[in-house]
């Protein structure tokens, strides 16, 4: 999952490319590079690490050229160093690539046999040499067509040519790619966000398409090289401002923004005056759906799992949950009366998109719960429910998680209502409680000092466990994911009732264990499981909700109490201390909280 940019202009482009690369850093940040064309030569500058490093490189400052491409990398093939950084160039061609070329080893063997010399360990370099080879006998369009046909795997490409001072080629299979239209200049980018400071007139390439970008016009082709026409979309020209304000990190800011995320979601989807739900345009009749499959990756998968508990509780639908990377390769039984819901913050996650694509190809009903409404997943789903949480910059998802589970909860209420599974009075009470939720989250956010104190124990331990049952189980998984992602310590989320079937063997004297035991239907059972780990020496951090009933248990190491609400909504509140635990653990270790090692915000490779 890398970010690519291309600009064909009559003004120098290097500074603008650098600025756009900064916006694309959420896609990868282990190296960056730029190539421009000037005086008939391809010039390349590449640096290990962040775009800041590239910018400091004195050669970039002096880079000339009115046409160029740039790249931020998340390494797939080869170490994250400056040699493997993109662009990759031969004398004639320079390429930036997002994706994976699966047959690169075979292609490399062929090209080496034809006398091509390779400099890097990347799969991308085969594209450079294949185009160079094909250009010996073909014109630009045919050489591109021939090259793309030979590639297996996924790609979004930006290509410039030594002998073509007014031409960038863009091509897409699997990985997203957009083109933008400006005044006597045109652009190529991984997404519209990277192009926003330059234009709001955008066209998205579909799978298999490629384009030729000149300064004054853009031509599009399908896989077999036939010219096609494409629509220009006019996006909102408002540019969102991103700054950390008084916060040290975007993640800290995004955690604190969660009451606003919930308020926005409630404003959008709840009809305040009538205590009803504002989702009127569902494109299917209620009797057309008898089961739901929720699909996502990482945190979004945890949202899906959370939603399963709600859909089962509030509707009579059959509910399945799947990890996108598993779903896409399994032998699925597609049933006409199934609704497939895809959950994704970015809307660009490669596995989630592939699962959606598979469902679309099988004629299934598809719905997207996404944050980025211009994303591929949103564009290709039949029905879209945006989460409206604003841009999330921190790689660790926080406000998008709460935004996702809010929309999924409201959708469960809506389907329960439509199917007659929920009595009017019950629905109205649930909506009333929901409206109180932003305030309760706001209050729960003030638990900092206790969390700061316990966080040292978690980041110094060899490993920790996060336990929960029922509604709290998906939250336990999410808490463990946050801790490992940010603090680089092993943390495992587990259903509390499963401990005795194996993982209890891990518990030893002093091991920190988070137990999520809110006063819900599972409370007593979870407390019993908590006793079992305490008896084996665990240091238990119990997270529950405020209640006048005393906790009947001894030897609990620490207790944190969140606000109280109805049992459906407790997961929202339990999430807050877990996000903060991960944040403070990483802060104490001095790690890069907004950009944890080895990760990227948008995972556009499988
Ligand atoms: O953009 P998506 O919601 O599709 O991303 C899915 C996951 O990559 C993402 O949630 C990831 O697990 C987060 N970094 C976790 O904090």
Dihedral of CA atoms 526, 530, 533, 538 in degrees, nearest 10, equals: 140
User: Using a 6 Å CB cutoff, which residues line ligand 1?
Assistant: 297-300, 344-346, 349, 352, 395-397, 481, 485, 602-603
Confidence (pLDDT) at 32: 96
Query: Does the annotation mark 227 as catalytic?
Result: no
> Highest mean pLDDT: which of 205-209, 272-276, 476-480, 546-550?
476-480
Residue 438 CA, ligand 1 centroid: distance in Å? 23
Tell me: the pLDDT tens digits for 447-467?
988 899 999 999 999 999 999
Using most ligand atoms within 8 A of CB, pick from 26, 29, 250, 298 the residue to mutate for ligand 1: 298
Q: How confident is the model at residue 185 (pLDDT cuts 50, 70, 90)?
A: very high
Segment among 106-115, 228-237, 287-296, 320-329 with least mean pLDDT: 228-237
Tell me: the pLDDT tens digits for 501-513?
999 999 999 999 9
**Higher per-residue confidence, 299 vs 554:** 299
CA 363 from centroid of its chain's CA atoms: 25
- Structural domains in the chain, sorted by start: 3-234 (3.60.20.10), 250-444 (3.40.50.10490), 448-589 (3.40.50.10490)
Contacts of 38 (CB under 8 A, 6+ apart): 63, 64, 65, 66
Asked if 369 contacts 345 with a C-beta cutoff of 8 angstroms, the reply is: no
For the chain, count helices (H), then strands (E). Answer: 19, 27
Query: Does the annotation mark 2 as catalytic?
Result: yes
Report the DSSP pairing between strands 512-516 and 463-468. parallel
The structure tokens listed for 315 are 């509707």
Q: How confident is the model at residue 174 (pLDDT cuts 50, 70, 90)?
A: confident
- The residue-averaged pLDDT of 439-448 equals 95
Asked if 205 contacts 45 with a C-beta cutoff of 8 angstroms, the reply is: no
DSSP 8-state secondary structure symbol assigned to residue 108: H
Segment among 41-50, 108-117, 192-201, 343-352 with least mean pLDDT: 192-201
Q: Classify residue 217 by burial, with Cβ atoms within 10 Å: 0-12, 13-18, 19+.
A: exposed
* Arithmetic mean of pLDDT over the chain: 95
- The residue-averaged pLDDT of 371-397 equals 94
Q: Is the pLDDT of residue 239 over 70?
A: no
**Look-up of token digits 């007139």:** 201
Q: How confident is the model at residue 62 (pLDDT cuts 50, 70, 90)?
A: confident
Angle at the Cα of 442 from the Cα atoms of 439 and 445, rounded to 5 degrees: 155
What backbone torsions phi and psi does residue 569 show, to the nearest 5 degrees?
A: -95, -5
Tell whether omega for the bond before 87 is within 30 degrees of 0, i.e. cis.
Answer: yes
Confidence (pLDDT) at 603: 87
Confidence (pLDDT) at 553: 77
- The residue-averaged pLDDT of 541-560 equals 91
Tell me: the pLDDT tens digits for 557-579?
999 999 999 999 999 999 999 99
Give dist(CA 30, CA 395) in Å, integer. Answer: 14
Closest ligand 1 atom to 603 CA: 8
Q: Is the pLDDT of residue 242 over 80?
A: no
The structure tokens listed for 535 are 């008896």
The structure tokens listed for 250 are 């975007």
Neighbouring-strand partners of residue 515: 467, 542
Residue 324 CA, ligand 1 centroid: distance in Å? 12
Q: Is the pLDDT of residue 153 over 70?
A: yes
Using the Cα atoms of residue 490, residue 244, residue 1 and residue 474 in order, give the sign of their dihedral.
positive
Confidence (pLDDT) at 240: 67
Closest ligand 1 atom to 404 CA: 3
Q: How confident is the model at residue 592 (pLDDT cuts 50, 70, 90)?
A: very high
CA distances to 28, 153, 268 from 94, rounded to whole Å, are: 20, 20, 46
**Look-up of token digits 């970010």:** 3
Report the DSSP pairing between strands 41-48 and 31-38. antiparallel
Confidence (pLDDT) at 357: 96
Q: Which among 339, 539, 383, 536 is positioned nearest to 458, based on CA atoms? A: 539
């Amino acid at each position: 999952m890398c970010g690519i940019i291309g600009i064909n202009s009559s003004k120098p482009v290097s500074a603008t490319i650098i600025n756009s690369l900064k916006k694309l850093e959420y896609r990868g940040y282990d190296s960056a590079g730029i190539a421009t064309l000037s005086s008939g030569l391809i010039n390349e500058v590449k640096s290990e690490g962040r775009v800041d490093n590239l910018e400091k490189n004195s050669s970039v400052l002096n880079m000339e050229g009115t046409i160029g491409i740039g790249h931020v990398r998340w390494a797939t093939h080869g170490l994250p160093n400056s040699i493997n950084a993109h662009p990759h160039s031969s004398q004639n061609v320079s390429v930036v690539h997002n994706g994976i070329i699966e047959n690169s080893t075979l292609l490399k063997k062929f090209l080496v046999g034809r006398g091509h010399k390779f400099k890097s360990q990347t799969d991308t370099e085969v594209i450079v040499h294949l185009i160079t080879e094909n250009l010996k006998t073909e014109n630009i369009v045919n050489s591109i067509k021939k090259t793309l046909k030979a590639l297996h795997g996924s790609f979004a490409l930006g290509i410039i040519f030594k002998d073509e001072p007014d031409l960038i080629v863009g091509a897409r299979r699997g990985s997203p790619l957009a083109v933008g239209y400006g005044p006597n200049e045109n652009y190529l980018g991984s997404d519209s966000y990277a192009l926003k400071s330059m234009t709001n007139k955008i066209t998205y390439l579909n799978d298999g398409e490629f384009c030729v970008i000149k300064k004054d016009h853009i031509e599009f082709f399908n896989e077999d090289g036939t010219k096609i026409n494409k629509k220009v979309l006019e996006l909102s020209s408002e540019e969102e401002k991103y700054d950390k304000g008084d916060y040290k990190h975007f993640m800290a800011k995004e955690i604190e923004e969660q009451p606003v995320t919930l308020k926005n979601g409630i404003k959008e989807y709840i009809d305040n005056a009538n205590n009803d739900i504002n989702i009127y345009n569902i494109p299917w009749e209620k009797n057309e759906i008898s089961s739901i499959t929720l699909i996502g990756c990482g945190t979004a998968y945890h949202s899906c799992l959370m939603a399963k508990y709600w859909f089962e509780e509030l509707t009579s639908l059959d509910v399945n949950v799947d990890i996108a990377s598993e779903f896409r390769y399994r032998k699925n039984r597609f049933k006409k009366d199934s609704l497939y819901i895809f959950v994704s913050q970015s809307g660009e996650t490669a596995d989630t998109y592939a699962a959606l694509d598979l469902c679309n190809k099988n004629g299934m009903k598809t719905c997207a719960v996404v944050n980025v409404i211009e994303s591929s997943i949103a564009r290709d789903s039949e029905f879209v429910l945006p989460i409206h949480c604003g841009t999330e910059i921190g790689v660790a998802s926080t406000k998008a998680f709460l935004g996702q589970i809010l929309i999924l909860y409201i959708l469960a209420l809506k389907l329960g209502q439509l199917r007659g599974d929920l009595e009017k009075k019950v629905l109205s009470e649930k909506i009333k409680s929901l409206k109180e939720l932003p305030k309760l989250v706001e209050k729960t956010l003030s638990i900092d000092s206790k969390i700061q104190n316990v966080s040292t124990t978690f980041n110094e331990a060899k490993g920790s466990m996060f336990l929960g049952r029922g509604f709290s189980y998906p939250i336990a998984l999410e808490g463990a994911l946050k801790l490992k992602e940010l603090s680089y310590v092993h943390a495992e989320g587990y259903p509390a009732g499963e401990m005795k079937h194996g993982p209890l063997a891990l518990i030893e004297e002093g091991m920190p264990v988070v137990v999520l035991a809110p006063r819900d239907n599972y409370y007593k059972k979870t407390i019993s499981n908590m006793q079992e780990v305490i008896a084996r020496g665990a240091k238990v951090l119990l997270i529950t909700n405020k209640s006048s009933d005393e906790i009947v248990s001894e030897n609990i190491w620490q207790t944190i109490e969140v606000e109280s609400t109805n049992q459906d909504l407790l997961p929202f509140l339990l999430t807050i201390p877990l996000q903060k635990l991960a944040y403070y653990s990483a802060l104490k270790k001095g790690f890069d909280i907004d950009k944890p090692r080895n990760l990227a915000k948008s995972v556009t490779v499988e």
